[in-house]
Amino acid sequence: MLRELASLTRREFLKLGRNPQAIFTALLLPLLYLLLFGQGFNINPTEFGDFTAAQKVAILAAYFRGAPNYYSYFAAGMVGFVAVTATLFIGANVIFDKLFGIFKRVRGTPAPSAAVFGSRLIAGSAQPIALAFFVLGLALLFKHIPGLTGLEVTASVGVLGALEILAAILLLSVMFATLFLTFGILIENPQMYFAAVNLLNLPVLLTSDALYPWGAMPHWLQNVSQYNPVSLAVNVLRETLFGSSVYPYGPGIYLLGLFAWAAVLIGIALVLVRRALRPLD
Partner 1 sequence: MQPTQAIHAENLVKVFNGKIRAVDDVSFDVRPGEIFGFLGPNGAGKTTTVSMLSAGLRPTQGRAVVDGLEVGKEPEAVKRRIGVIFQESTADGDLTGRENIQVAAGCYGMPRAEGRKRADELVERMQIADAADRLAKTYSGGMRRRLELAVGLVHDPKILFLDEPTLGLDPQGRNGFWGFIQQLRKEEGLTVFVTTHYLDEADTMCDRLAIIDHGKIVATGSPNELKDRLGGDIVTIKTTAGAPDVTNVLSTLIGVHTVQKQDGSYRVKCANGEPFVPLAVEACDKAGAGVTGVTVKRPSLDEVFLEFTGREFRDEDAPTATDRAVMVQRVQNRFGGRR
Among 100, 198, 268, 271, binds partner 1 (CB under 8 A): 100
Closer Cβ to partner 1, 189 or 223, answer by number: 189
Asked whether position 110 contacts partner 1 by CB under 8 A, the answer is yes
Closer Cβ to partner 1, 15 or 56, answer by number: 15
Q: Specify burial of residue 189 (Cβ count, 10 A radius: 0-12, 13-18, 19+).
A: exposed
Among 27, 29, 57, 106, binds partner 1 (CB under 8 A): 106
Closer Cβ to partner 1, 6 or 264, answer by number: 6
Closer Cβ to partner 1, 3 or 219, answer by number: 3
| Cβ(26)–Cβ(126) below 8 Å | no
For 215, half-sphere exposure in the C-beta direction (CA atoms, 13 angstrom radius) is 18
Q: Least distance in Å: CB of 9 to partner 1?
A: 9
Q: Least distance in Å: CB of 114 to partner 1?
A: 13
Ramachandran assignment for 32, one of left (phi > 0), alpha (psi -120 to 50 degrees), beta (any other): alpha
Q: Least distance in Å: CB of 278 to partner 1?
A: 9
Q: Least distance in Å: CB of 116 to partner 1?
A: 9
Displacement of CA 173 from its chain's centroid (Å): 5
For the window 13-52, what string marks contact with partner 1 as x by the rule CB under 8 A? -xx--xx---------------------------------
Among 29, 57, 102, 200, binds partner 1 (CB under 8 A): 102
Q: Which stretch binds partner 1 (CB under 8 A): 34-42, 46-54, 110-118, 205-213?
A: 110-118
Task: Give CB contacts under 8 A, 24+ apart, made by 226-232.
Answer: 227/257, 228/204, 229/172, 229/175, 229/204, 229/257, 229/258, 229/261, 229/262, 230/80, 230/81, 230/83, 230/84, 230/172, 230/204, 230/205, 231/80, 232/168, 232/257, 232/258, 232/261
